Amino acid sequence: MIKSAGLIFILMGLFLLIPLSVWAMSAENALPDPAQEERAEKVGSELRCVVCQSESINDSQAEMAHDMRILIREKIKGGWTDDQILGYLRDRYGDFILLRPPFQTNTYVLWLLPFGFLMLAAGLLCLLFRRRARGG
Amino acid sequence: MNKRLGAYLMKKAPHMLAFVPLIVFGLMILALALVLEQGSGEKVKFTQLVDKPAPTTVLPILGKNQKYISTQDWKEKKYIVNFFASWCVPCREEHEFLLRLMENNIAVIGIAYKDNSKAVRGFLRVAGNPFRVVGEDTTGHAGIDWGITGVPETYIVDKAGIIRYHHSGPLTDDIIERELLPTWRDLK
């Protein structure tokens, strides 16, 4: 009895290891060329689903995300580069659609602040150690 | 930095310095909470295409075999584009306002978003047809081209083919009187 319960828990645990995004693109829509499909996956992972906000297009079940996945694949088939596709969607939905905010004037603070804090902390630590060393 | 003050604190009250990170952390949490609180309930607005050229959209015309509508054909006229669907409940709410625009002789192009011809025809027969022409966007790609996040969404395009106004969500009396009509009238 106890043994079988343990087995069930192990099995449940194993199921948790299966990434759900594997099912994001159904086989019928995937591009036949694996290299192109890989590009489509990569582009999709960089885009935020515009109707659900905290998911990538690859991970989202929303219809809009599904349509965008199809669109990405059509553009790739049509010879667009990854940057062209990202740019196309960014023109329409703004920086919001990019999960990784670009490094630009209005995001300098966002990108540099963590490093700023790190340097500040390092500086303070240095000061502290020097003082400790001097003070014995 | 005030060295003497620092040294004084280090000597006299090192335990007070220990609270500094905690206080800073607390302030950061507070700032974050305030920002989140302010933003709550507010939908992100996508109006990127306002003042940009309208996308060239070519779609099959509803009810006409092998005939296509292109936004290029509408150059030199100002027009309104309305994305709608027979399955969309808020679209029914705004329908009376679209009919009113038609009565005022305003050209509205309807784009049936992710719908089927039969359902769209049924919807327009029952509710009335406020559109000069209806294009069918079955894949939803024209919708993405215009940057919509759902239906209904409404755009005003001027004679030069530039988008001058974008409203996401159902039109209301207030929005028509205060935003849409003034923008429309201001355009030559």
Question: In angstroms, how far is CA A134 from the centroid of its own chain?
Answer: 48
Dihedral pair phi/psi, residue A46, rounded to 5°: -90, -5
The pLDDT, as a whole number, for residue B12 is 66
Chain A: residue whose CA lies nearest to B7: A131
ipTM of the prediction: 0.78
62-121 of A, contacting B, C-beta below 8 A:
63-64, 67-68, 70-71, 74, 89, 91-94, 96
Report the gap between the CA of A9 and the closest CA in chain B (Å): 38
The pLDDT, as a whole number, for residue A116 is 94
Report the gap between the CA of B104 and the closest CA in chain A (Å): 30
For residue B48, give the nearest of A67, A70, A92 by CB distance: A92
Could you tell me the residue ranges of all domains in chain B?
3-39, 58-186
**Tens-digit pLDDT string for chain A (136 aa):** 566 778 888 888 887 776 655 555 565 688 999 999 999 999 999 999 988 868 999 999 899 999 999 999 999 999 999 999 999 999 999 988 999 878 887 788 888 999 999 999 999 999 999 988 887 5
Could you tell me the residue ranges of all domains in chain A?
2-102, 105-136
Chain B: residue whose CA lies nearest to A51: B149
Which of chain A's residues have a Cβ under 8 Å away from the Cβ of B46?
50, 92-94, 96
The pLDDT, as a whole number, for residue A111 is 85
Distances (CA, A) of B71 to B46, B75, B152: 21, 7, 19
Q: What is the DSSP code (8-state) at residue B176?
A: I
The Cα–Cα gap between B163 and B155 comes to 7
Q: What does pLDDT average to over chain B?
A: 90
Dihedral pair phi/psi, residue B13, rounded to 5°: -140, 65
Residues in chain B with pLDDT values less than 70: 1-2, 6, 9-10, 12-14, 39-44
Report the gap between the CA of A24 and the closest CA in chain B (Å): 18
Chain B: residue whose CA lies nearest to A131: B7
* pTM of the predicted structure, to 2 decimals: 0.75
The Cα–Cα gap between B22 and B19 comes to 5
Sequential DSSP letters for chain A:
-HHHHHHHHHHHHHHHTS-GGGGSS-TTTS-SSHHHHHHHHHHHHTBB-TTTSSSBTTT---HHHHHHHHHHHHHHHTT--HHHHHHHHHHHH-GGGBSS---SGGGHHHHHHHHHHHHHHHHHHHHHHHHHHHH-
The Cα–Cα gap between B11 and B13 comes to 6
Q: Do B49 and A91 touch (CB under 8 A)?
A: yes
Q: Given CATH 3.30.420.40, say whether it is the number of domain B58-186.
A: no
Instruction: Show Cβ contacts of residue B153 under 8 Å, excluding neighbours closer than 6 positions.
Output: B82, B83, B146, B166, B167, B168, B169
Q: Do B149 and A64 touch (CB under 8 A)?
A: yes
Dump pLDDT digits (tens) for B18-60.
Answer: 888 899 999 999 999 888 877 655 556 778 899 999 999 999 9
Q: What is the CATH number of domain A2-102?
A: 1.10.8.640
Whether B71 contacts B161, CB under 8 Å: yes
Whether B86 contacts B122, CB under 8 Å: yes
Closest residue by Cα to residue A95 from A81, A111, A80: A111
Chain A: residue whose CA lies nearest to B145: A92
